[in-house]
Amino acid sequence: MAVYDVSSIVISSRIRLARNLKDFAMPQQIKKDEGFSVLNKVVGSVKGLDDFKVYKIDSLPKEDAFVMQEKHLISLDLLEKKDYGAVILSSDETISIMVNEEDHIREQCFLRGLELEKAYEKLNSVDDKIISSLNIAFDNKLGFLTSCITNLGTGMRASVLMFLPALTLSGEIENITKALSEKGLCTRGVYGEASSFDGFMYQISNGTSLGLTEKEIVGAVKEAVLRICDYENRARKKLLLEREVEITDRVLRAYGILTNCYTLSSSELLRLGGELKMGIALGIIRLKDNGLLDKFATSCMKYNLFKIAGKNLDAEEEGLFRASYVSRMLKNQRIK
């Protein structure tokens, strides 16, 4: 497979594991006192692990909780479990363990780039410690028992976030997503299920986890991702050959708006950032820090932006501050 560029296509890798305690109702039916029992047991199971800290949702300031959610460390669903929900975070924030979300335990590891195997190895060592300490719901035929049937088996979701502008603009992405579906793989937007593919961002992941080993799932997703990288590289060459003027204009217009606009919404930033990122990938424009646009995807979300501003902002102030911040960060970045 002639894959010659992965770094400008693959943004990040994630491994997620779902686990439940055998003697308790699933989180959707759990009673408050049982929720606290689950929380205490899970917290106890990770004692001894270095560099992990427990954050109980009910004691987290609202702004800090939403900052975590925008950084994909916790879900909106967990924020609703204020009484007995918690997240256990590693100091580098690559591993997060949500307690009493959709399952009693949702472990996940995020790493930059195509690092599925490394993410799995890191998370697997934590998972082994948790499983050895708790009575986990497991069936000899079905594997790990989970609240959602698609997670039965290994309880694993292996996913890769990809940047696919050329396949999107050529229309080829539709055939690719169809082919992936036929192979039991899913395609989602940057914010997960039912989200749109803003900024040319796509999450590729396994659709089910029953009947496969964890390593087989990782291998299948990685193989698909590498093949998509090959297709995207070919599509980029064709795009530049056939539509250079149009694409160059789109890229430079995006740069011009981002460096000169007076107000800017988060959705506009995602769309225009995708156009500019396409220009970097195609060599149309260069920045001193080509990773800056990926950082904007988190830092310029509502509550992370409030943190930078040092105060809460109303809707109008938010748009003004985002535009000013992005413009300031980008203006001295251009090399070409």
Does the structure show a pLDDT above 70 at 246? yes
Does the structure show a pLDDT above 80 at 50? no
Sole residue written with tokens 């009493």 = 100
Does the structure show a pLDDT above 90 at 87? yes
Pick 191 or 150 by higher pLDDT. Answer: 150
Joined tokens for residue 262: 């007076």
Kindly list the domain boundaries of the chain, sorted by start residue. Answer: 243-331
**pLDDT bracket for residue 193 (50, 70, 90):** low
Query: From CA 171, how far away is CA 218, in angstroms rounded?
Result: 27
| pLDDT recorded at residue 4 | 55
Burial call 236-268: b when 16+ CB within 10 Å, e when fewer: beebeeeeeeebeebbeebbebbbebeebebeb
Query: From CA 245, how far away is CA 231, in angstroms rounded?
Result: 22
DSSP 8-state class, residue 262? S
| pLDDT recorded at residue 1 | 42
At 284-300, the pLDDT tens digits run: 999 999 889 999 999 99
**pLDDT bracket for residue 152 (50, 70, 90):** very high
| pLDDT recorded at residue 8 | 93
Give the H or E element holding residue 203.
Answer: strand 201-206
| pLDDT recorded at residue 331 | 87
The stretch 164-186 carries a mean pLDDT of 95
**pLDDT bracket for residue 192 (50, 70, 90):** low
Query: From CA 49, how far away is CA 90, in angstroms rounded?
Result: 9
Q: What's the Rg (C-alpha) of the chain?
A: 21
Contacts of 93 (CB under 8 A, 6+ apart): 71, 73, 110
How crowded is residue 309: how many other Cβ atoms within 10 Å of its Cβ? 15
**pLDDT bracket for residue 154 (50, 70, 90):** very high
Fill in the amino acid letter for 262.
Answer: Y
At 305-322, the pLDDT tens digits run: 999 999 999 999 999 999
Does the structure show a pLDDT above 80 at 77? yes
Does the structure show a pLDDT above 80 at 279? yes
Joined tokens for residue 71: 């950084």
Joined tokens for residue 326: 């992005």
What are the φ and ψ backbone dihedral angles of 266, each rounded to 5 degrees? -65, -35
Fill in the amino acid letter for 36.
Answer: F
**pLDDT bracket for residue 2 (50, 70, 90):** very low
Q: What is this structure's pTM?
A: 0.93
Cα four-point dihedral sign 287, 336, 253, 169: negative
Q: Give the residue among 4, 49, 65, 114 at the shortest CA–CA distance from 304.
A: 65
| pLDDT recorded at residue 45 | 92
Among residues of the chain, what percentage have pLDDT more than 90? Answer: 85
